Amino acid sequence: MRQPLDRSRRIVFTGAAGGIGTMTRPLLAKLYPGLVLSDRVAPARLEASETFVAADLTDAEQVAAAVKGAHSIIHFGGYSVEGPWDSILQANIVGCYNLFEAARQAGVKRIVFASSNHAVGFYRRKKKIGTDVTVRPDSRYGVSKAFGEALGALYADKHGIAVTCLRIGNVGPRPLDVRRLSIWISPEDIVQLIRIGLEHPDIRYEIFYGASDNAASWWDNSRAYKLGYRPTGKAEDHRAHAEAEQAKIGPDPVGDLFQGGTFCSAEFTNDARRAGP
């Protein structure tokens, strides 16, 4: 059961100008009037009920100003793809620490953290995994998301912030290829998971998979279902499109073995038989 929604709560949404932010903002704005958006640049077409506070996650003072007075934070800011180590380090590790520490100092009660399937990308596709597996990141980006999950656990246990980590697959109107038939999530369904993180009274520290009701899913998302998740999106409804797009891509001898796909095969120098658990 969710807590009754207190619409006076100040909820800060970082990364609001990014891809997922752009897709989910209209839905979140209806649920949480007064949503405070933060990013390095202002999102396009602010709703009348939204306000914007510019902040670079690498600047601790700017982050502190953005979250001042917040009750809850939806933390989707950061570097969203694989990249050079320094870019990942600054945005996703230093920036994530700045966010959690500013939240602690501001007395924030809840954080929903955008983790990623790439924190566990080196599990093989034939293996269904739960949220309690050892992290097996497939990239520097995946390492940064594993760090964020660990940081969330620290702030939950040491400081009592209710933290929800979403291992997001791929958000969009439909799956882009065959791999995404297993990891796709609709914008409406990711908003459901965000709501659980912001409102459910039993949240202390949780990891959910950001996936819709996908018949080909590689993930056991039973904990999210136990807390009320009822996804409406079904990747199978889009299989014909995904298979047609996959035919344009062609095979990837390494990436096709693992859940992380091309994130696994990029820069890969190992023997695939020795990779992953």
Over residues 113-168, the pLDDT tens digits come to 999 999 999 999 999 999 999 999 999 999 999 999 999 999 999 999 999 999 99
Distances (CA, A) of 5 to 33, 111, 197: 11, 16, 13
CATH number, domain with residue 182: 3.40.50.720
pLDDT of residue 6: 56
pLDDT of residue 1: 46
Establish if 205 belongs to a structural domain.
yes
Task: Render the burial of 227-239: b for 16+ CB within 10 Å, e for the rest.
Answer: bebebebebeebb
Domain that holds residue 76: 11-274
Q: What is the number of structural domains in the chain?
A: 1
Mark whether 141 is an active-site residue.
Answer: yes
Establish if 182 belongs to a structural domain.
yes
User: What confidence tens digit (pLDDT) does each residue in 34-62 have?
Assistant: 999 999 999 988 888 899 999 999 999 99
Q: Which of 32, 141, 155, 229 is catalytic?
A: 141
pLDDT of residue 48: 85
170 strand-pairing partners: 184
Those residues with Cβ within 8 angstroms of residue 107's Cβ, 6 or more apart along the chain or in another chain: none
Average pLDDT estimate for 174-196: 97
Residue matched to tokens 């990837």 = 252
Average pLDDT estimate for 82-100: 98
Q: Which helix (H) or strand (E) holds 142?
A: helix 140-159
Establish if 15 belongs to a structural domain.
yes
